[in-house]
Structure 1
Amino acid sequence: MTHWSGARTFIAAATVAFGLLYLGGAIHAAAALAAYGFLLIVVLARAAIAGETRPVRVAGASGEKRATPLGSGPSLTILDRLPDPLIVLDGAGRVLLRNSAAEPLVVKQAVGKHVATVLRNAPLISCIESVLKGGPACSVEYTLPVPIERHFNAFVTPIETESAGPGPRKNFLVLVLLHDLTEAKRVESMRVDFVANASHELKTPLASLSGFIDTLSGHAKDDPEAREKFLGIMSDQAQRMRRLIDDLLSLSRIELREHVLPDQLVSLQGVVEDVMDALTPIARDSGVELVASAPATLPPVRGERDELAQIIQNLVDNALRYAQSGKRIEIGLSRETKGSRDVVRLTVRDFGPGIAREHIPRLTERFYRVDAATSRARGGTGLGLAIVKHIVNRHQGTLSIESEIGKGTTFLVQIPVAESGQGAPAGPSEEADDATAQNDASASVQAAQ
């Protein structure tokens, strides 16, 4: 579609009118040319004074045609490709240009409409109106509550451009640049929650230790029975702080390396056997039967052995803490195909009381507990499953949780199989583990009968 300026429209109409008058014999040719020339001079002079220029057409993602005096060619293409939403207004507050990133934030066919009908946010509109009235550049943060809450910082500044045409003239425009703060706000909220939770978790045992120290320094210092009781409680609280600090440091290390892919070849069969050996005494003392099963052969995965061991240990430890009533924990390994890639599937299943459905999506959040009092009483830090989630992410795997009240819970982890020629063996111990596992038709260990 051709965009006509006012001058070109008048010239075209005058040409047609004088042509018809001449052809109809209503006017002599010389008179027609003289009148036409005079009007042409008047129109061109008016265009020069008004700074009327030829509009530049830019098509947005929806094919909307937009006219703007900002320039043409590469400059407008660059603006359209900016990742941040950008809107340009004329001196009357009408939209001259919006780039593709701004399209989801404004109404359809926004070009030509007043900004108040396009961006319906009171603080932002107030900032824009202030600049339109000659005020200085300003910025404002605002929130879009629907459909999904998003946070933006808007920078509004006046700009002046030179108009093309016979006479120099400046155009007064207003640039509105939006920056999405949603992710930054989410990260900041997580940081604040993390610091608050970590401080609370550390403050509780510290307060307990301080209280017992005061008691032992006072009337209980000469009471051997009370002294032994209080020292035992103080030891438990110190161990709780040590576990929390260890988990915090572990989580921090894993998050720092989460974007770095591991490069070792690891046999999960060997890792499961090592974890079983370490947790067998604990399971036996708790009266829980710990059983592991795997096929005769499994391909190695690309991973870091210590982190994969921590996944299994945290999941089994979690089951031992909260599902002792089931008296049995099963660890299973198998090979599956997920989409276009092969994975090794690890399952840890308990037969305890189960977890209510509404809690499952939040189980991997830091410090989230279904029952905070019970968790602390059993030595839980609230970080074990968060650590599992980040390790699984680093290994490009998936974690899912299935649970049914009264029947128990199953944690399912899928780790991609290492591709041919990918990674290096984790070490001699892993090769020995592979040989041991392959000699058995089924690796099954019963820790407690």
Structure 2
Amino acid sequence: MDVQRNSVNVKPPTAEGRAPLRRNDLLVAAGAIAAGLAAALIAGVLKPLGALLAGGIAGTVLLLRWLVPTPQQVFAPLSEEATEEVERLQRYSILLDALPQPVMLLDAQDRIETANAACFRMFGEGIEGANIAGIIRAPAALGALREARHMDGAQEAEISITGPNTLSALFYVSPLEHDEAEGEMIVMIRDRTEQRQLERMRTDFIANAGHELRTPLASLLGFIETLQGHAKDDPDARAHFLKIMQAQTERMQRLVRDLVSLSALELNERRLPEDDVDLCEIAAVVREMMAPVAERANGEIVPGPSNCSIRMIGDRDQLIQVAQNLIDNALKYGATGSTDRARVHVTVGSGPDHAFEAASSSGDSPDQIAVRAGCAPSDLVYIRVRDEGGGIARTDLPRLTERFYRTDVDKSHPQGGTGLGLAIVKHIVGRHRGGILVESAQGEGAAFTCYFPPRPGPESDLPAGH
């Protein structure tokens, strides 16, 4: 915050308030003048009239020296008090800049007189002198400001501030109460985005969990009643029902795990990752981790490139989860009709690259992702998971990353799908400032390509499109 110009009421010192010249100094000066004049008379240098005139001038000078202060005497107290006032204002400025909430001072015309550092970070450096209506485009905030002026009291309003990240905030405004305020208002903005996210996540969690758990719980209750009834003495029926109950219980476990994971991702979505990771190393690790899963599913993960390196800034565990979820989906739903065996390709690369010659697509294009990331499309890096199945219908492509959306419910439930795997992928990729491009070619398969901004610095040693 800039220190404002304040009027400092400092009066020049009077003769009574100044420390007088020492009496001995005046006597010595007067004696010296008298001795000099006497010597001049004796020597005949001055006539009596001239000596009288010279003595009068010298006396007048001494009198003025006594009565009139020097410039140093006048301005020294003024300079000291002004310095103290400036230092006091600087302390206030440091105090306001230390506040995490944006604070601004408005004049009687709702123009911003001054603001603290948090306010400049939120709205930019050039806001001083601008009308607040052009800075905060929220009718509720302007209404609270008018009400505060009309009622001469503090007002609050819940507002949304649009920008790169939309913020939920509390807008507080109050008139200043001092004689020289002249219509000035103090405004404070408190970011409540995380609080609103927590409330929304809690509501969504309860609604989604209730909806998805209702069916397996009802199924379990029905089987328990059956086992308590006529099937309690039938070993074959008990074994059959218990196997189904185990499958439903495992499905509920996966559902709760995915819901908790999704809620945690949403909570940290605005915090950018900071680790230096290698996409090639992540792809190799996930291939090895998912090999037993592919074997149990009668599938195959096709080996990708080795001895390569393509680096980015990311969260290693979350990127591993992205690859795992995509491979798991491909193994479940990417089997070919002729062999009923899924072949999954995991590749990494840089720059825009299409999985198929001609395909339907949905999601973010490399150009859109590059604009958001502030880099050239050729600088983007990606990890892709592609299957050789029958492909995905064009009408389903835009909705694949929605929560609990399934293209084939009858096929999804036996496979143990929760409908949250791709939603989790979308949130992780979004946290990394990336985007997902989904491509599908009927009879050739489907591909999910996750593009990310490159790591700042030297380029990787992986050629484009590898």
Give me the TM-score of the superposition, normalised by structure 1. 0.55
Residues 215-294 of structure 1 mapped to structure 2, 5 A cutoff: 215-248=226-259, 259=273, 261=275, 267-268=281-282, 270-271=284-285, 273-275=287-289, 277-284=291-298, 290-294=300-304
2:334 is aligned to 323
Q: Distance in 1 between matches of 2:226 and 2:248?
A: 16
1:298 matched to 2:308? The reply is yes
Change (3 A) 1:208 1:300: same
Shift in Å, 1:292: 1.0
Contact 2:101–2:189 (Cα < 8 Å) also in 1: no
1:382 is aligned to 419
Contact 1:397–1:416 (Cα < 8 Å) also in 2: yes
Equivalent of 2:447 in 398, 405, 410: 410
Contact 2:351–2:379 (Cα < 8 Å) also in 1: yes
Structure 1, 216-225 or 363-372: larger mean CA deviation: 363-372
Contact 1:258–1:393 (Cα < 8 Å) also in 2: no
Q: Secondary structure at the match of 1:220?
A: helix
Change (3 A) 1:194 1:252: closer
Shift in Å, 1:203: 3.9
Shift in Å, 1:298: 1.8
Q: Distance in 1 between matches of 2:259 and 2:136?
A: 44
Q: Distance in 1 between matches of 2:166 and 2:95?
A: 29
Q: Which structure has the larger Rg over C-alpha atoms?
A: 2
Change (3 A) 1:342 1:298: farther
Contact 1:343–1:415 (Cα < 8 Å) also in 2: yes
* Aligned residues with identical type, % of pairs: 33
Shift in Å, 1:387: 4.1
Q: Secondary structure at the match of 2:247?
A: helix
Q: Residue type matched to 1:216 in 2?
A: L
Q: Distance in 1 between matches of 2:383 and 2:128?
A: 51
1:349 is aligned to 387
Report which of the two has the higher share of strand.
1
Contact 1:367–1:381 (Cα < 8 Å) also in 2: yes
Contact 2:161–2:168 (Cα < 8 Å) also in 1: yes
Q: Distance in 2 between matches of 1:259 and 1:324?
A: 35
Q: Distance in 1 between matches of 2:456 and 2:160?
A: 46
- Show CA shifts across 1:304-334 (max 9, x none): 8876654433222202322334554331435
1:141 matched to 2:158? The reply is yes
Q: Secondary structure at the match of 1:95?
A: coil
2:175 is aligned to 158
Aligned length: 333
2:20 is aligned to none
Change (3 A) 1:352 1:186: farther
Equivalent of 1:401 in 437, 451, 463: 437
Structure 1, 407-416 or 249-258: larger mean CA deviation: 249-258
1:95 is aligned to 110
Contact 2:326–2:422 (Cα < 8 Å) also in 1: yes
Q: Distance in 1 between matches of 2:425 and 2:229?
A: 44
RMSD of the alignment, in Å? Answer: 5.3
Change (3 A) 1:378 1:273: closer
1:56 is aligned to none
Q: Distance in 1 between matches of 2:134 and 2:317?
A: 58
In structure 2, runs of 5+ residues without a counterpart are 1-87, 353-375, 459-466
Change (3 A) 1:252 1:83: closer
In structure 1, runs of 5+ residues without a counterpart are 1-70, 164-169, 422-449
Report which of the two has the higher share of helix.
2
Give me the TM-score of the superposition, normalised by structure 2. 0.53
Shift in Å, 1:237: 0.5
